[in-house]
Structure 1
Amino acid sequence: MALKEVVAKNLRRARHDKRMTQKELADRAGLSSRYIGAIERTDVSASVTVLDQIADALEVEPTELLQRPGRKS
């Protein structure tokens, strides 16, 4: 699985776990909801700076967004 697919799945899961909409996450992260959606659809690859903003908004460690399924950090 490509890393941007891993990020997309982990982002969507973390956002759902926090019961957040894309708009709410975008507002907290200082990004557009269209950009959040594009990351979740794997249309774009997020920079490490953006991943840090998203992780802060979700109150998770950035590594949670990068962790491949079945692996522990």
Structure 2
Amino acid sequence: MDIRVVFARNLKHYRQLRGLTQAALAAAMDVDRAHVSAMERQQQNVTIVTLQKVADALGVEPAQLLAKLE
């Protein structure tokens, strides 16, 4: 499976698990909501720095965002 698909699914999964809207996650990351939306739709290539920002905002390890969920 494409790593972008895995990341997008995990991002949405952990965001929803924590009860966050895209706007709330974007505010926690200090980015625009459209950026979060683009990541969830696999339209945004994510840098390692962004990966860390997402992980920090969601309270997960970066590796959790890249691991296939069972």
For normalisation by structure 1, the TM-score amounts to 0.91
Give the drift of 1:69: 3.2
TM-score normalised to structure 2 length: 0.94
Where do residues 30-69 of structure 1 align in structure 2 (5 Å cutoff)?
A: 30-69=30-69
Question: Which runs of 5 or more residues in structure 1 are unaligned?
Answer: none
Equivalent residues, number: 70
**4+ residue runs over 3 A deviation:** none
Distance 1:43 1:33 in 2: 14
In 2: Cα distance, 1:47 partner to 1:8 partner: 13
| Mapped partners of 1:46, 1:33: distance in 2 | 15
SS at match of 2:20: coil
